[in-house]
Amino acid sequence: MKSDNVTTVRVELAERAYDIAIGGGLLAETGARIARLRPKAKAVIVSDTNVAKFHLESCERSLGAADIKSHKVVVAAGESSKSYATYQQVMDAILDARIERGDLLVALGGGVVGDLAGFAAATVLRGIDFVQIPTSLLAQVDSAVGGKTGIDTRQGKNLVGAFHQPIMVLADTGVLDTLPPRQFRSGYAEVAKYGLINDEKFFAWLEKNWQAVFKGGPERIEAVAASCRAKAAIVGRDEREAGERALLNLGHTFAHALEAATGYSERLLHGEAVAVGMVLAHKLSVKLGLCSEADAARATAHLAAVGLPTKLSDIPGSLPGSAALIDLMGTDKKVEHGSLVFILTRGIGKAFVAKGVEIGPVRALLDEAGRGA
């Protein structure tokens, strides 16, 4: 199968720059594209049990057709695989395969696989190349781009990791057809995020075209490409999140606390947590007199229209109170000198980094949200 309608987005990072190829049928070109970049390299494919059922054989076949010898390691699907134990499993498999510094890893999966495999690539033999083949919408538009890798610990999410850029990203939009609808909606939250951060025109386009994005075709490719362009531009200017890149965390301070409160489980997927978090960020901005109620309502309405949760009551099961959620926010990476850092907004497409936000309004907001307000 030959890829079609391929869009290429360049991530400009000097000698570590790389391309994101976006379009249908790209999985079948994995071997040929890797061979052009790293001829004669061996590869270890890291995947999970869900993705392997659909796409591992195609990836292996493509690598074999390009005379690339490959090994594989398949981990359990789900956030629980971003752990020390699974990291060791992957590292052992890489070393057992006698991988050398000139060889590479292929991360075939969603955000969990990409983060885990990327961290393994950053650390084995003090760093080897890796290729991202994201198979979820969330990974294609967010986690596979930008070089953040890592695992979770009992203290919180993504607290152990490294910045390690891939040498290539292959975003095959056709593989998204195998995603369960809930997973696709979860990824869409990160697509909407780019419009809410700094591109009101893109958000308006999504309001009109989101159904076509869900169905597939050129609108899906355009939505993924627009998201990748937005992230690539920010990463190119601020690779290690010293400033502007923090904008990509819109909604995430709330989201990571909610994920921790629900045990990083199927109760609340990452994108679902981000959707609720973005609504809370807009409501906090309204409470602080920064954003109009109309803009906050518009953001909420779009996320609700696509079927994403927008209220704490949309999350199954009970949640801790505001004090406990704020305590969980304190373990997040977005803390500076003991004060919480939020991404707030002055309206659609007008997000900014807010440091030293007072706890009082946050607690009041969470109390209101807990009552369904």
In the chain, the amino acid numbered 230 is: A
Q: How far is CA 325 from CA 18, 74, 111, 198, 331, in A?
A: 38, 34, 24, 28, 10
Is 358 an annotated catalytic residue?
Answer: no
Phi, psi of 171 (to 5 degrees): -100, 90
CB neighbourhood size of 117 (10 A): 30
SS3 156: strand
Residue 176 DSSP one-character state: G
Which pLDDT does position 4 carry in this prediction? Answer: 61
List 38, 249, 272, 282, catalytic entry: 249
User: Cα–Cα–Cα angle for 344, 294, 234, nearest 5°?
Assistant: 35
Cα–Cα distance, 245 to 225 (Å, whole number): 18
The per-residue pLDDT for 373 is 67
Distance between alpha carbon 189 and the CA centroid of its chain, in Å? 10
Q: Which residues contact 235 (CB under 8 A, 6 or more apart)?
A: 11, 13, 145, 146, 147, 245
Question: Is 266 among the catalytic positions?
Answer: no
- Residue whose entry in the numeric block shows the structure tokens 């993924």: 224
Decide if 241 is catalytic.
Answer: yes
Q: What pLDDT is attached to residue 1? A: 45
Mapped onto helix, strand or coil, the DSSP state of residue 146 is coil
DSSP for residue 126: G
Active site residue 164: no
Annotation says 270 is catalytic: yes
Structure tokens at 211: 């159904």
Q: Could you tell me if 150 and 82 are in contact, meaning their C-beta atoms sit under 8 angstroms apart? A: yes
Distance (Å, rounded) from C-alpha 38 to C-alpha 56?
20
pLDDT of 310 reads 98
Q: Would you call 201 a catalytic residue per the annotation?
A: no
190 counts as catalytic: yes
Closest CA to 265 of 47, 77, 78: 78
pTM of the prediction? 0.93
Q: Please, what are the averages of pLDDT over each run of 10 residues along the chain (373 residues)?
A: 77 96 96 96 98 98 97 96 97 97 97 98 98 98 96 89 98 96 98 98 98 95 97 94 92 94 93 98 98 98 98 96 92 64 96 92 95 75
The predicted pLDDT at position 335 comes to 59
- The pLDDT score that the predictor gives to residue 331 is 72
Which domains, ranges and CATH numbers included, belong to the chain? 4-178 (3.40.50.1970), 181-370 (1.20.1090.10)
Among the listed residues 219, 222, 239, 241, the single catalytic one is 241
Identify the active-site residue in 82, 185, 229, 252: 252
